[in-house]
Amino acid sequence: MHFSQGDSTCRAISASLAALGGFVALALLACGEGLIRAAAWDGMVRDSAGIEIVENFGTPLWHEGETWRLTEVVRIGAVEGAPEYEFGRISGIAVLSDRRLVVADAMAHELRFFSPDGVLERTYGRLGQGPGEFGDGLLYPSVGPGDTLLVFDRANQQAHVIAPDGTWLESFSTLPENGHWFGMVYDEPPTGRLVSIQVALRLPEGGLADSMDVLLERDLHGAILDTVARIPTYMTTLKPGAAGSYYANMVDITLCNNSLVAGHNYTHRTVWYGSGGGIERIIDFPSERPPLTEADRAVMMTRWDQLAEQYGLPPDQAEQIKSTVHFEDRYPAYAQFECGPAGTLLMQRFRPLCELSEEEVSQIRYNLGRPPGAPVWDVFDRDGRYLGAVDLPGTEWVGTVPDVRFVQDPDTKAWFMYATWSDELDVQYVVGWHIEGPLLD
């Protein structure tokens, strides 16, 4: 590989890219095209073989005190009151273009439609396997073209097409096929673009049917419109024996700015795929991954003891299960990421286990592969430049990852954030905030 201007920087970038292996397959990129330093920004933009590489060095573009301001505008949920405002288990939310809210309650097996002011308009669904019925498991609504909903129903292995007024239109199967199982559907408001992830199946004789997960763009009938990207399955990127580890490598995917954004949380790097499945951009950000200390491990073992007692496991069986628990050496680089207002990308910071209170420790779910999320998110603009950090209320979590949605009002052009949130009594709410600040006016 030939290096010209900025030799040392190019070598550092190339080494970090090569370390990502097959995920981006960019070790072949040349650094000879030159480096461009953006005004008032300490980062670097580089074009190499038609791929834009955005290298942030950590200094925010936002000045001190220059950040977003969030004001609560609606809260839906109740400890006691009308049953339609009490939630059993919120498994997902969707926001329509007119800011009506659709809340999926997996325990009640239904969708609830609320006005922007939080007034119930309609309840739809019941337990079952036929038209207008949902299975006893995860329900996750996505917004497709024309505000039509595509509801992923894991238990019934179906996706249901629901009109904006709550009328059932059709369903299609999400059973495994071609060596992959149907994972999840991602949407991109307000375009209505829908992309599903197809995860490689484990074979009965061992191994995987494919070394790649496939991202497919679909229409509302389930028909495949295009292959958006193929990325190495998270199963093959794990270290040997890491499948049962805290906190092993997790895959994150979102749709943003008409691109599919993918990343593995062992590095603070996102890869952006354009039309045709090619990589168009890589956004890099420096991060130190703190070690998982003995104090952190002790917190998790305490939680395992609590769970063993809760489920009445004999002491010898509980100790045998605990002996199978493993930990990564270091925490991930982030907790999760989302596409935010005005084409921004938001990456949530995590909370170390040893900083949790006793009450918070009791909320840890034993099967979570992500560390608890902090309310602080790092913000990158649509060009990939680091803007700074913002506190997003209602997004801090320990046991359950909140569903976070952003939408722009079509009339006022104002931006809003909606998120699921649980109080100290584990009562669930959907809360909405109006967002003001830089980039949003």
Residue-wise pLDDT for 188-212, tens only, equals 988 999 999 999 888 888 788 888 8
Collect all residues with Cβ–Cβ distance below 8 Å to 396 and sequence separation of at least 6.
351, 372, 373, 374, 375
User: What residue ranges do the domains of the chain occupy?
Assistant: 87-237
What percentage of residues in the chain have a pLDDT greater than 90? 59
Of the pLDDT bands very low, low, confident and very high (cuts 50, 70, 90), residue 65 is confident
Sheet with 139-143, edge to edge strand ranges: 139-143, 149-153, 158-162, 168-173
Question: Which pTM does this prediction carry?
Answer: 0.86
DSSP label at residue 329: S
Q: How far is Cα 34 from Cα 385, in angstroms, rounded to an integer? A: 18
Of the pLDDT bands very low, low, confident and very high (cuts 50, 70, 90), residue 134 is very high
Q: Where would I find the H helices in 58-114? A: none
105: nearest Cα among 119, 86, 122, 130? 86
What is the CATH code for 87-237?
2.120.10.30
Reading phi first (left if > 0) and then psi (alpha if -120 to 50, else beta), residue 147 is in: left
Per the structure block, which two tokens stand in for 44?
Answer: 């670097």
DSSP label at residue 208: B
Average pLDDT, the chain: 85
CB 120 within 8 A of CB 103: no
Longest pairwise C-alpha distance within the chain: 69
DSSP 23-58: GT--TT---TT--BPPTT---EEEEETTEEEEE--S
Collect all residues with Cβ–Cβ distance below 8 Å to 355 and sequence separation of at least 6.
none
